[in-house]
């Protein structure tokens, strides 16, 4: 209303006075906005909601599985149609990192922009949980896709629970109960992995990129694609013609039973291999860098991948989209 009045009165006032009034109004509005948003965040944390960030949406999902209604989680990388390896930071990402109380990030060079953002907005009250350091890995593990290790998420969940209890001691019981539920569902995933392994151990598969290599290894599958080729695809450089020819041979000579295709890291090379695999009758299973949303949580995502692999080996059925 103040703004409306000053606009109506503008014609009759001297321009200098009008300008001054506009500036005052604008600053008042800005100040009100700042105070209001300050109130918001303060009331949010006093009501017991922890602001948390998962650098990748699979970690955000685990945070919300443990924190339930007492966390407000945002995920930074969650678009299943883009390549997280070529992610670039926007200001809204910087803002959510700056205001977060709990952050889970992968580390291992996969999301190094997180460390930059965190050091740009230092905060004593922020807990940063890096999965790489949680596992005690070197600075440069060859394969950064740590969330595909079936042993990783229970460790992450345990640490998230510990941090949440520290931030919200009154909700300790609640977080503990949810951690138990999470662990129970992970046990059934482990059982799926063991039975898969018992049936299909040693089956040869081809891959484009190392995204699910940890899971494939846990499942007992034999990845016939040289790591050099996978790393080249991951890093967006051209694999050598020798490696491309070798990979083509895996399909044309039917040396593999399944082609595990990372649908978030594609290039002319991977697309050409995809059509060759289809032509050679090798079933394709789509893999993802980030959790496909909506409709999945971490556990159901992993079991969907495992059942897609099972269908591919048993019935030669492709799953081009899980």
Partner 1 sequence: MHWIFEPGLFSNDSVRTALLLGAMVSVVSATVGVFTVLRGQSFAGHALTDVATAGGAAASLAAVSPLVGFIGGGIVGAGAMDAIGVQRVKGRDIATGVVLGAAMGLTALFLYLVTLQSATTGATQLILFGSVFTVAPSTLPEVAMLSVVVLVGLVLIRRPLLLSSISVELAAARGIRLRATGVAFMVMLAVAVGLSAIVIGSILSTALLIGPPASTLKVASRFMWAVSLACVLGVVATGLGIVLAYDSYYWFPSHRGLPVSFFVVSIVVIEFALASLVGRRKLARAVVVQHDPTKAPEQVGWV
CA angle 306, 308, 310 (to 5 degrees): 70
Q: Provide the minimum distance between the beta carbon of 270 and partner 1 in the complex, in angstroms, as a whole number.
A: 8
According to the 3-state scheme, what is the secondary structure of 105-161?
ECCCCCCHHHHHHHHHCCCCCCEEEEHHHHCCCCCCCCCCCHHHCCCHHHHHHHHHH
Is residue 125 within 8 A of residue 140, CB to CB? The reply is: no
Residue nearer to partner 1 on the CB measure, 153 or 234: 234
**Of 60 and 233, which CB lies nearer to partner 1 in the complex structure?**
233
**Residue 240: CB atoms within 10 Å:** 12
Cβ 247 to partner 1 shortest distance, Å: 11
Q: For residue 109, what are its two tokens?
A: 């060079």
Q: How many Cα atoms within 13 Å fall on the side-chain side of residue 75?
A: 19
Min dist. Cβ of residue 146 to partner 1 (A) = 20
CA distances from 284 to 127, 198, 311 (A): 40, 22, 10
Q: Give how far Cα 318 sits from Cα of 25, 205, 207, 283, Å.
A: 62, 13, 14, 5
Per the DSSP assignment, residues forming a β-bridge with 223 are: 205
Nearer CB in complex with partner 1: 137/269: 269
Looking at the Cβ atoms of 15 and 91, the one nearer to partner 1 is 91
Of residues 141 and 154, the one with the C-beta less far from partner 1: 141
Least distance from partner 1 to the Cβ atom of residue 85, Å: 6
Q: CA-CA distance, 153 to 130, in Å (whole number)?
A: 12
In this structure, how many other beta carbons lie within 10 angstroms of the beta carbon of residue 69? Answer: 10
Q: How far apart are CA 271 and CA 262, in angstroms?
A: 11
Interface residues toward partner 1, by CB under 8 A? 79, 81-83, 85-88, 228, 233-238, 240-245, 248, 263-269, 272
Give the number of other Cβ atoms within 10 Å of residue 300's Cβ: 15
Pick 266 or 303: Cβ nearer partner 1? 266
CB of 218 to partner 1, least distance (A): 25
Q: Which is nearer to partner 1, 79 or 96 (CB)?
A: 79
Q: How far is the CB of 142 from partner 1 (least distance, A)?
A: 13
Least distance between partner 1 and beta carbon 77 (Å): 11
Q: Closer CB to partner 1, residue 217 or residue 276? A: 276
By beta-carbon proximity to partner 1, the closer residue of 221 and 273 is 273
Placement of tokens 């799953």 in the chain = 319
**Least distance (Å) between residue 224 CB and partner 1:** 16
Contacts of 2 (CB under 8 A, 6+ apart): 25, 28
Q: How many CB atoms lie within 10 A of CB 38?
A: 10
Minimum CB–partner distance for residue 17 and partner 1 (Å): 41
Q: How far apart are CA 148 and CA 131, in angstroms?
A: 12
């Amino acid at each position: 209303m103040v703004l409306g009045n000053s606009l109506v009165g503008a014609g009759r006032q001297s321009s200098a006075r009008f300008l001054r009034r506009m500036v005052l109004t604008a600053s008042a509005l800005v100040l009100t906005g700042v105070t209001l948003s300050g109130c918001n965040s303060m009331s949010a944390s006093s009501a017991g909601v922890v602001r948390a960030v998962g650098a990748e949406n699979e970690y955000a999902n685990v945070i919300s599985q443990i924190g339930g209604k007492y966390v407000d989680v945002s995920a930074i990388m969650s678009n299943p149609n883009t390549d997280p390896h070529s992610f670039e930071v926007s200001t809204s990402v910087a803002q959510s990192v700056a205001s977060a109380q709990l952050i889970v990030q992968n580390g291992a060079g996969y999301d190094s922009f997180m460390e930059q953002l965190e050091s740009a907005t230092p905060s004593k009250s922020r807990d940063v949980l890096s999965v790489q350091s949680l596992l005690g890995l070197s600075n440069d593990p060859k394969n950064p896709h740590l969330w595909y290790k079936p042993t990783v998420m229970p460790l992450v969940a345990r640490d998230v629970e510990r941090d949440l209890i520290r931030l919200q001691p009154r909700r300790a019981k609640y977080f503990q109960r949810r951690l138990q539920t999470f662990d129970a569902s992970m046990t059934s995933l482990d059982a799926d992995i063991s039975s898969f392994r018992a049936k299909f151990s040693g089956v040869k598969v081809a891959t484009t990129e190392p995204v699910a290599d940890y899971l494939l290894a846990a499942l007992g599958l034999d990845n016939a694609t040289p790591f050099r080729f996978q790393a080249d695809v991951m890093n967006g450089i051209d694999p050598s013609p020798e490696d491309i020819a070798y990979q083509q041979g895996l399909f044309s000579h039917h040396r593999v039973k399944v082609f595990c295709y990372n649908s978030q890291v594609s290039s002319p090379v991977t697309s050409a291999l995809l059509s060759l695999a289809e032509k050679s009758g090798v079933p394709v299973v789509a893999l993802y860098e980030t959790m496909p949303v909506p409709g999945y949580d971490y556990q159901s995502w992993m079991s969907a991948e495992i059942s897609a692999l099972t269908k591919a080996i048993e019935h030669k059925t492709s799953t081009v989209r899980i």
